[in-house]
């Protein structure tokens, strides 16, 4: 549907085509957990609005369709990772990737959301025109052509990392290595780890998941980490949840289980923040109990940072510890000096021979799926913007984006954000407004919105939106606070400007290259 007709002044024309772009009230970008949640909320709470979901891949599921490495699973419980409108009813609270993918796809099918998805539409650019009070959205198609659509409101549900590539450091000698090097984000379908000597580089959630799964058939697996990570064991089945489902009506049980897990998560996080030393000792003590005296827990499972300065890793049913106890896997804490023809030589001089090296070295962050935003021809610098209620960007009209919790399940935030977007759209209709935009006060300072020391957040600090120093510009990592703000708080406030679309909105103010320090 490429066209030059009805193109705002800030959008470049594509091909000469007299057909106007297809128009929607709302365009959602991404058909993973957040996008399906957005679809349900829109058709339930804004039933008169037209919308479509643009998905760059050829399937629903997002992360759970992309990741296919052995053992892939959730790292938070499914009773909170599942949708609030269609609770998870599986027996296993820590579910594997295929089960989660089926759940997302079944949800989309059950509610007819799958019929709203435009597959193979990778959004590359969105341009807002204040004259038209609408977005013009360009998407690349699978056949390398480009299509154009327009919408009144744009909602980004595309996650926060680059689907095309993960983070891969370059170590000396990699070209000499005669074995196979694989990144988990692109696990080959023909790879059989059975009988192989494997080195997994990394200590994050992916490595902790991979090691026990590979160890089940490999000759031996070594998890090579530069520094330790906190690893917590918990049962894969939630005994209380399963008991409640047996004895209570479904809806009542679902609500009780969800709130139980939300409050337990918030309580543990608060404890870690206020009593980090005690929390550290407890986690390390549990790891020592799992592994016994033959393992050096101080060296391999006692991080230098406090709990929740980085995400904790989950070992369902203690599977990682079981693999280490059995001898089918081992942990080495050291740094790589160079790859050799047969494996990896460490700075200590130790050589790890390997038929296969798996680089579980983390994600590469990418906001908005790589989509470029402009407002009246001015590029939006997300790293210089201030997050409004953790959902919108300062000075960007009719736009919202999901960024889930780093200390709880992603879907808790995406459900709240989708509900808020619907409330905002309905409020605009009630006011007769065609646009709304958060306006940051000139005197308000800013600071990082994500306070984690994880490498992938540090590498991407320049592109992440910031938070303000007071409400409503705070970026909460707390479901209860967000519930009060997004579901029960007033939509109208002094920071949110509404307009009829009959004049050009004020130009961007927060993206003009101001300093990014406390006084920015």
In tens, the pLDDT along 230-272 reads 999 999 999 999 999 999 999 999 999 999 999 999 999 999 9
Contact of 355 with 197, CB cutoff 8 Å = yes
* pLDDT above 90 coverage of the chain, percent: 74
- Residue 373: pLDDT band with limits 50, 70, 90: very high
Fold of 174-359: FAD/NAD(P)-binding domain (3.50.50)
Q: Would you say residue 512 has pLDDT above 60?
A: no
- Residue 5: pLDDT band with limits 50, 70, 90: very low
Q: What would the mean pLDDT of 396-422 be, rounded to a whole number?
A: 94
Measured CA to CA, the distance from residue 39 to residue 33 in angstroms comes to: 10
pLDDT score for 446: 77
Of the listed ranges 128-132, 222-226, 501-505, the least confidently predicted one is: 501-505
CB count in 10 Å sphere of residue 105: 18
Quickly list DSSP for 135-198. Answer: EEEEEE-TTS-EEEEEEEEEEE---SB-SS-------TTGGG--SEEE-GGG--TT---TT-EE
pLDDT score for 518: 35
Q: What angle do CA 346, 352, 353 make, to 5 degrees?
A: 140
pTM: 0.89
In tens, the pLDDT along 327-366 reads 999 999 999 999 999 999 999 999 999 999 999 998 888 8
180 pairs with which residues across the strands? 356
Note the CATH number of domain 22-163+365-499: 3.50.50.60
Q: What is the CA radius of gyration of the chain?
A: 24
Q: What would the mean pLDDT of 513-518 be, rounded to a whole number?
A: 37
Measured CA to CA, the distance from residue 300 to residue 352 in angstroms comes to: 17
Query: Per 3-state DSSP, what percentage of the chain is helix, strand, and coil (rounded to 5)?
Result: 30, 25, 45
Q: Is the torsion defined by CA of 425, 427, 428, 432 positive or negative?
A: positive
The three-class DSSP label of residue 497 is strand
Q: What is the mean pLDDT of the chain?
A: 89
pLDDT score for 392: 95
Q: What would the mean pLDDT of 422-441 be, rounded to a whole number?
A: 94
Q: Would you say residue 280 has pLDDT above 90?
A: yes
Give the torsion through C-alpha atoms of 153, 158, 164, 170, to 10 deg: 120
Measured CA to CA, the distance from residue 228 to residue 225 in angstroms comes to: 7
Q: What would the mean pLDDT of 54-63 be, rounded to a whole number?
A: 94
Q: What would the mean pLDDT of 505-509 be, rounded to a whole number?
A: 45
* pLDDT above 70 coverage of the chain, percent: 91
Q: Where are the domains of the chain?
A: 22-163+365-499, 174-359
């Amino acid at each position: 549907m490429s066209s030059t007709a009805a193109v705002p002044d800030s959008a470049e024309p594509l091909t000469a085509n007299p057909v106007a772009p297809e128009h929607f009230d709302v365009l959602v970008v991404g058909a993973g957990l957040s996008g399906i949640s957005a679809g349900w909320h829109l058709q339930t709470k804004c039933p008169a609005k037209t919308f479509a979901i643009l998905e760059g891949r050829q399937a629903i599921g997002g992360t759970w369709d992309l990741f296919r490495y052995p053992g892939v699973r959730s790292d938070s419980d499914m009773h909170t990772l599942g949708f609030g409108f269609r609770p998870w009813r599986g027996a296993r609270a820590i579910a594997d990737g295929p089960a989660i993918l089926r759940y997302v796809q079944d949800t989309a099918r059950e509610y007819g959301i799958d019929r709203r998805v435009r597959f193979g539409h990778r959004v590359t650019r969105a341009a807002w025109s204040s004259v038209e009070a609408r977005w013009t959205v360009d998407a690349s198609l699978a056949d390398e052509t480009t299509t154009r659509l327009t919408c009144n409101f744009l909602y980004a549900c595309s996650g926060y990392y680059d689907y095309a590539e993960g983070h891969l450091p370059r170590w000396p000698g990699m070209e000499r290595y005669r074995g196979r090097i694989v990144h988990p984000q692109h696990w080959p379908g023909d790879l059989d780890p059975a009988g192989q000597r494997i080195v997994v580089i990394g200590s994050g959630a992916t490595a902790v998941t991979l090691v026990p799964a590979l160890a089940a058939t490999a000759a031996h697996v070594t998890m090579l980490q530069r520094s330790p990570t906190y690893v917590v064991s918990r049962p894969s089945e939630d005994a209380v949840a399963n008991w409640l489902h047996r004895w209570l009506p479904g809806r009542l049980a679902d609500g009780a289980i969800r709130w139980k897990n939300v409050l337990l998560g918030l309580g543990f996080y608060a404890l870690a923040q206020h009593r980090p030393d005690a929390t550290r000792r407890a986690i390390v003590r549990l790891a020592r109990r799992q592994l016994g005296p033959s393992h050096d827990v101080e060296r391999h499972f006692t991080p230098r940072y406090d709990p929740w300065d980085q995400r904790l890793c989950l070992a369902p049913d203690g599977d990682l510890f079981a693999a280490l106890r059995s001898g089918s896997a081992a942990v080495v804490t050291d740094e790589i000096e160079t790859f050799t023809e047969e494996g990896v030589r460490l700075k200590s001089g130790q050589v790890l021979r390997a038929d296969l090296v798996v680089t579980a070295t983390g994600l590469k962050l990418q906001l908005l799926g790589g989509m470029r935003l402009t407002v009246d021809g001015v590029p939006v610098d997300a790293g210089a913007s201030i997050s409004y209620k953790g959902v919108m960007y300062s000075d960007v009209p009719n736009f919202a984006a999901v960024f889930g919790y780093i200390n709880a399940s992603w879907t808790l935030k995406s459900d709240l954000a989708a509900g808020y977007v619907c409330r905002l759209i309905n409020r605009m209709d009630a006011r007769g407004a065609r646009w709304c935009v958060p306006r940051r006060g000139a005197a308000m300072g800013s600071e990082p919105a994500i306070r984690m020391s994880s490498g992938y957040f540090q590498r991407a600090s320049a592109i992440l939106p910031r938070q303000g120093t007071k409400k409503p510009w705070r970026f909460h990592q707390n479901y209860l606070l967000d519930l009060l703000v997004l579901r029960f708080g007033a939509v109208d406030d002094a920071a949110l400007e509404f307009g009829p679309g009959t004049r050009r909105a004020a130009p961007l103010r927060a993206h003009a290259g101001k300093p990014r320090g406390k006084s920015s």
